[in-house]
Amino acid sequence: MHQSVGEEKKITVLGAVSITRASISQHFPQAANLGGIRTAKRDKTPAMNFTVAMLIVFPAKKLASRACWPAGLTVALLQLCSAAHFVQAQAPAPPKPATPEWAQPGSAAHTQVAPPKDFHRPSRNFDTPIGIFEGQSDIGSAILPGSASYDTATNNYTINSAGYNVWYTRDEFRFLWKKMSGDISLAADIGFPDPNGYGDRKAVLIIRQNLEDDSKEALIGFHGLGMIQLAQRPEKGERIKDIEYRIGGRGRPGGAGPDSLVNVMARRVGIEKHGDSFALYLSLEGEPMHQFGPPIQLHIEGPFYIGIGFCSHMPDKVDTAVMSNVVLENSAGKFSEKMR
pTM: 0.73
Peptide bond into 122 cis (omega under 30): no
At residue 265, φ and ψ (nearest 5 deg) are -90, 120
Residue type, 219: L
**Strand runs labelled E in 32-183:** 37-41, 52-59, 124-126, 135-139, 147-151, 156-163, 166-167, 170-171, 173-180
Residues 248, 185: Cα–Cα separation, whole Å: 26
Q: What is the pLDDT of residue 339?
A: 61
In sequence order, the β-bridge partners of residue 250 are 261
Q: What is the pLDDT of residue 172?
A: 98
Q: Per-residue pLDDT tens for 8-64?
A: 343 333 444 444 445 545 555 554 444 444 444 444 444 433 333 444 444 444 444
Q: 285-288 long-range CB contacts below 8 Å, 24 or more apart?
A: 286/340, 288/335, 288/336, 288/337, 288/340
Vertex 295, ends 211 and 162: CA angle to 5°? 35
Q: What is the pLDDT of residue 48?
A: 39
Residues 101, 47: Cα–Cα separation, whole Å: 29
Query: Do residues 274 and 218 touch, judged by C-beta distance below 8 A?
Result: no
Q: Per-residue pLDDT tens for 171-210?
A: 999 999 999 999 999 999 999 999 999 999 999 999 999 9
CA-CA distances (angstroms) from residue 182 to 62, 119, 273, 292, 305? 70, 32, 8, 22, 11
Q: What is the pLDDT of residue 52?
A: 39
SS (H, E, C) 189-255: EEECCCCCCCCCCEEEEEEECCCCCCCCEEEEEEECCCCEEEEEECCCCCCCEEEEECCEEECCCCC
Residues of the chain with pLDDT under 70: 1-96, 336-340
Q: What is the pLDDT of residue 315?
A: 96
